Structure 1
């Protein structure tokens, strides 16, 4: 499996003893998580379990009440310094793409490059065109505004911006939400292709059972303010009531069976 770590290699992300509170409400209580280099990790959980909060905490945007996070070997601080010190080493695709409506796709992709301040304008334009092609958008997408794009194209444009500085880790927040099944499946294949081509580590919050079954090496389930991690097959054997309900419904079983057949077919084609 791609997500298996090399002997002695440090994880891409290590979360230890994380506590997240909002007023009297505790969302995470002693949460521990390790993300292996090169894996695609899905993150799921019920409403209010803090899935997006976890992502924002890992990248330094949300200060926890307690605990520590190490991202790509660097302890995360929550004073803005982490984002600066790790600039370019991780990217984030927010829900709905979060593109600036007044900027073209090309200009949106160039925003992280401008923030670095050391990339000449002609090179930024060339890199933006390369990123547009990398995520499967047509060349003329660079000159279009977000309002001129379909939902699927907006997601790809947001991903192109997340990849602007050639990151090692990419965080995706509900990347296939709002897409039709064909568009969602195409986006899943894009993530797999990018992982293979670029060696990315991917952390993806999603409710899409097809995505979880098809592309995730492991799945992290937020439940009871902690986290349970395993493959989909392992989680289907977990006795926790919420996990049982989530992974044993007809949609989950269908997704798992389809992914198993697809994986077997792909392995056969590779050999």
Structure 2
């Protein structure tokens, strides 16, 4: 988390973003800053474009208008070489893991290394095993295929792959979706520990109130095609908006508050 009194650095800067699919406008005039070293939770109702925002920032979706800078690089209109270099400075774990089904866990983790680095196989084996250990998976999971893993183990394997290139920023799309409460809490704890140990900036799309209270420094609420409000989770209860009130002041929110 950025230290109080220290000037904040925006490692992600979004201005005037417009995402549109045919006649459907998902975002219009969306602005957002993500500060170095923070865990930002991005929330919003169904159809507000949480995952679309993530995919647009990492270049999987071309916006209709707007500017996006990541680590000082224009990732919308910048030079291809610059964009390629900055992509090595972030890692992504998608909601379902998106692991290659025909590759082992170790081979999945090594995939970014093969694409971006020139390393010997023995060094990739050692680094891959280290990343797998870092996310709390046993070494006997290295030769296993995604189909042989539980849902929670697949999410950890995907996180290990996201960490393969020692990124500065990690993007997580609904990281605790489908996990039981114990597994979700353990995953939150893992993310928090890795963020502190590695100095990561974490951009996390989530609907999980427990995660917001457990590890997020700030929350950005998507509504009305933009970031309606952003700030510490404690401030969300002061926002006079129907969805925000229901989400952050409903019975599930009160339960999550008590846990946090």
TM category, shorter: over 0.9
| Partner-residue secondary structure (3-state), 1:70 | strand
Paired residues for 1:191-230 under 5 Å: 191-227=191-227, 228-230=229-231
User: Is the alpha carbon distance of 1:55 and 1:4 closer, same or farther for their aligned partners in structure 2, counting shifts above 3 Å?
Assistant: farther
Alpha-carbon distance, 1:83 to partner: 4.7
Corresponding residue for residue 74 of structure 1 = 73
CA distance in 2, matches of 1:187, 1:193: 10
Corresponding residue for residue 137 of structure 1 = 137
Partner deviation per Cα, 1:157-211 (whole Å, 9 max, x = no partner)? 0000000000000000010000000000000000000011100000101111100
CA distance in 1, matches of 2:245, 2:87: 39
User: Is the alpha carbon distance of 1:151 and 1:201 closer, same or farther for their aligned partners in structure 2, counting shifts above 3 Å?
Assistant: same
Partner deviation per Cα, 1:40-95 (whole Å, 9 max, x = no partner)? 00011111111011001111111111110110111113689365121320000001
Q: Does 1:47 align with 2:71?
A: no
Q: Is the 1:13–1:72 contact (alpha carbons within 8 Å) kept by the matching residues of 2?
A: yes
Q: Is the 1:131–1:164 contact (alpha carbons within 8 Å) kept by the matching residues of 2?
A: yes
Partner deviation per Cα, 1:207-235 (whole Å, 9 max, x = no partner)? 11100111100111100111111111101
Q: Is the 2:2–2:8 contact (alpha carbons within 8 Å) kept by the matching residues of 1?
A: no
Corresponding residue for residue 28 of structure 1 = 27
CA distance in 2, matches of 1:80, 1:50: 27
Corresponding residue for residue 240 of structure 2 = 239
Corresponding residue for residue 265 of structure 1 = none
| Partner-residue secondary structure (3-state), 1:175 | coil
| Partner-residue secondary structure (3-state), 2:202 | strand
Q: Is the 2:10–2:35 contact (alpha carbons within 8 Å) kept by the matching residues of 1?
A: yes
TM-score with structure 2 setting the length: 0.95
Corresponding residue for residue 101 of structure 2 = 101
User: Is the alpha carbon distance of 1:37 and 1:10 closer, same or farther for their aligned partners in structure 2, counting shifts above 3 Å?
Assistant: same
CA distance in 1, matches of 2:70, 2:4: 16
RMSD: 1.5
CA distance in 2, matches of 1:5, 1:62: 35
| Partner-residue secondary structure (3-state), 2:16 | strand
Corresponding residue for residue 256 of structure 1 = 257
User: Is the alpha carbon distance of 1:80 and 1:248 closer, same or farther for their aligned partners in structure 2, counting shifts above 3 Å?
Assistant: farther
| Runs of at least 4 residues off by over 3 Å | 3-9
Corresponding residue for residue 13 of structure 1 = 12
Alpha-carbon distance, 1:3 to partner: 3.5
Q: Is the 1:59–1:83 contact (alpha carbons within 8 Å) kept by the matching residues of 2?
A: no
Q: Is the 2:73–2:83 contact (alpha carbons within 8 Å) kept by the matching residues of 1?
A: no
List runs of 5+ in structure 1 lacking aligned partners: 260-271
User: Is the alpha carbon distance of 1:80 and 1:114 closer, same or farther for their aligned partners in structure 2, counting shifts above 3 Å?
Assistant: farther
Q: Is the 1:101–1:146 contact (alpha carbons within 8 Å) kept by the matching residues of 2?
A: yes
